[in-house]
Amino acid sequence: MKNFMAANWKMNKTIAETREFLRDIIPSVKEVTDVDIVIAPPFTALSAAGDAIGTTNIQLAAQDIFWEEKGAYTGEVAPAMLLDAGCKHVIVGHSERRQYFHEDDTVVNRKAGAAQKAGLGVIFCVGESLAERESGKTFDIIRREVEKGLEGIDAGNLVVAYEPIWAIGTGKTASPEQAQEVHAFIRDILRKRYGETAEDIRILYGGSVTPENVKSLMACQDVNGGLVGGASLKPDSFAKLVCYKKEK
């Protein structure tokens, strides 16, 4: 299985900064063939990023999507618009979308369905808060988000990302043992839904992934890559994550 390393820039980088980042990182990762490298800039920089990426081994993703094809939905972005900008994937269900914009499992499911219908790969996010973990609800939350969010969603071109909310942007990271425990749980749910095909679905870890901890996380059996926030904003840092096998 080819690993998958995705950079989620969130609300960072102008068009000029996006071009500069790609100019710097492309030479560093151009020889990589065993990792799917994905960059998710803000909407305003998607087209410029697509142009800069060109025919390199980097793929473009969007950070969000709307489920309608067109219409009176001020501020929203349709699937065809993402394809037009050069996107191959889209992130859905990120904890920040769930937290700040009150997206529930039904909304996440509609977005995932619209993305797949348009031919976009789905990076589907799940994760629990600190309070939920401390009260022993981690597996209940993960099960609900996976089962409801993926209802009617095909396994093809699907990537799942486990992002413990308590570890996002906090500097805290789940231990390899904690990450593997949840990833294995997710894999089991996917097996029950998709059968043998579940073995081919990449499950990413997202929660303060850095060049310092990436090797220990990636050594886990069911961790197949990372959904990276802060450490993806600098080309040298993200390149180290992509090339973690070669780093000493």
Q: What DSSP string describes 42-76?
A: -GGGHHHHHHHHTTSSEEEEES---SSSSSS-TT-
Q: Which stretches of 160-232 are DSSP H helices?
A: 176-194, 214-218
What is the architecture, at CATH level 2, of domain 3-242?
Alpha-Beta Barrel (3.20)
The residues, ordered by sequence, that sit 6+ positions from 63 with a Cβ below 8 Å of its Cβ are: 8, 9, 10, 40, 41, 42, 43, 90, 91, 94
C-alpha dihedral sign at 60, 43, 120, 199:
positive
Cα 31 to Cα 243: distance, rounded to the nearest angstrom: 10
pTM of the model: 0.96
Q: Which stretches of the chain are DSSP H helices?
A: 15-29, 46-53, 79-84, 95-100, 105-118, 130-134, 138-149, 176-194, 214-218, 235-242
* Whether the Cβ atoms of residue 33 and residue 46 lie closer than 8 Å to each other: no
Q: Which residue has the tokens 């039904």?
A: 106
Going residue by residue through the chain (248 aa), what tens digit of pLDDT does each one get?
899 999 999 999 999 999 999 999 999 999 999 999 999 999 999 999 999 999 999 999 999 999 999 999 999 999 999 999 999 999 999 999 999 999 999 999 999 999 999 999 999 999 999 889 889 999 999 999 999 999 999 999 999 999 998 877 777 778 999 999 999 999 999 999 999 999 999 999 998 899 999 999 999 999 999 999 999 999 999 999 999 988 76
Q: Cite the active site residues.
A: 94, 163
Cα 227 to Cα 247: distance, rounded to the nearest angstrom: 19
